[in-house]
């Protein structure tokens, strides 16, 4: 056991240790959270505990888009109002949230659960690319939007998928790469600026 946690009683030191494993929670924050829970009413900590347990028990991957869901197919895949001819490919389930927040995309998603990373030994079979290709043959998809992150691995993954999807006669697009809103030209890197220039658009 970590000596930092020793002075507290056993149940509380155990909680502190567990909280400390969470991202962004250091030993001090873990202590504060644990003592806060200790002082709050019992139903509050029970709610929290139940929420944590149901997270693992009731969640699974959507059999269509592989997003994390509690119902299969997931809310997006079973929503009849969505455009079923477009699929947006993302790296992780969490990437869907910002895209949904824009309210600009009404199609479906496909979650790869990772990117090709040769240096780390992550190969296409480790991702859900096969499932994407299966969806493309069985449905009337007209466009695949590649929304992997604009970095070396994300680009490589997109190029790889593009190579597999294009021969099927489906339009493959890539999210535009350019200057971030609220950014600054002075600090823009050369790749971003080159791409921003290449993808410049006429003003109306």
Partner 1 sequence: MSARVYRTTGIIIKRHKFGEADRLLTIFTADCGKVRAIAKGAMRPGSKLGGNVELLTHSQLMLARGRNLDIVTQAQTLDTFLSIRDSLELMSCGFYLAELVDNFTEENVEDRDLFELLLATLRILSETGEGERIVRYFELRLLGHLGYSPQLQKCANCNRMLQPEANYYSPAQGGTLCRECGYPYMAASTISVNAQKVLRLWQRSDIAIAGRVKLSAVLAREIKSILRDNIRYVLEKQLKSIEWMDRLAGDSNLNGNKTASHNNDSGPL
Interacting residues with partner 1 (CB under 8 A): 23-24, 116, 118-121, 123-124, 151-153, 155-156, 159-160, 163-164, 167, 180, 182-184, 187-192, 194
Alpha helix positions (H), 5-82 = 10-20, 27-39, 42-57
Q: Shortest approach of partner 1 to residue 31 CB, angstroms?
A: 20
Q: Shortest approach of partner 1 to residue 200 CB, angstroms?
A: 16
**CA–CA separation, 66 and 88 (whole Å):** 12
Q: Shortest approach of partner 1 to residue 156 CB, angstroms?
A: 5
Closer CB to partner 1, residue 126 or residue 143?
126
Closer CB to partner 1, residue 25 or residue 37?
25
Q: Shortest approach of partner 1 to residue 165 CB, angstroms?
A: 11
Closer CB to partner 1, residue 7 or residue 23?
23
Read off the tokens for 67.
Answer: 């997003």
Burial 185-199 (b: 16+ CB within 10 A, else e): eeeeeeebeebbeee
Q: Shortest approach of partner 1 to residue 49 CB, angstroms?
A: 25
Read off the tokens for 52.
Answer: 């944590």
Sequence-ordered list of residues with C-beta below 8 angstroms from that of 110, at least 6 positions apart, any chain: 65, 66, 87, 88, 89, 90, 128, 131, 132, 135
Closer CB to partner 1, residue 81 or residue 102?
102
Alpha helix positions (H), 58-171 = 96-102, 129-138, 152-165
Closer CB to partner 1, residue 187 or residue 204?
187
Q: Please provide the DSSP assignment of 110-125 as one string.
A: EE-SS--BGGGTB-GG
């Amino acid at each position: 056991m970590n000596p930092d946690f020793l002075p507290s009683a056993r149940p509380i030191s155990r909680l502190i240790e567990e909280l400390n494993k969470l991202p962004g929670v250091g030993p001090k924050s873990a202590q504060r959270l644990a003592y806060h829970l200790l002082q709050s009413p019992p139903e509050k900590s029970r709610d929290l505990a139940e929420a944590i347990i149901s997270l693992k028990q009731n969640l699974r991957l959507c059999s269509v888009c592989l997003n994390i869901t509690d119902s299969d197919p997931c809310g997006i895949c079973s929503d009849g109002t969505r455009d079923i001819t477009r699929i947006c490919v993302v790296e992780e389930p969490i990437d869907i949230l910002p895209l949904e927040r824009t309210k600009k995309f009404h199609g479906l998603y496909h979650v790869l659960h990772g990117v090709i990373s040769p240096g780390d030994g992550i190969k296409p079979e480790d991702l859900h690319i096969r499932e994407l290709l299966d969806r493309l043959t069985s449905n009337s998809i007209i466009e695949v939007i590649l929304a992997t992150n604009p970095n070396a691995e994300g680009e490589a993954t997109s190029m790889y998928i593009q190579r597999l999807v294009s021969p099927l006669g489906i339009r493959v697009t890539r999210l535009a790469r350019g200057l971030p809103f609220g950014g600054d030209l002075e600090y823009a890197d050369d790749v971003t600026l080159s791409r921003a220039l290449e993808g410049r658009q006429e003003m109306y």
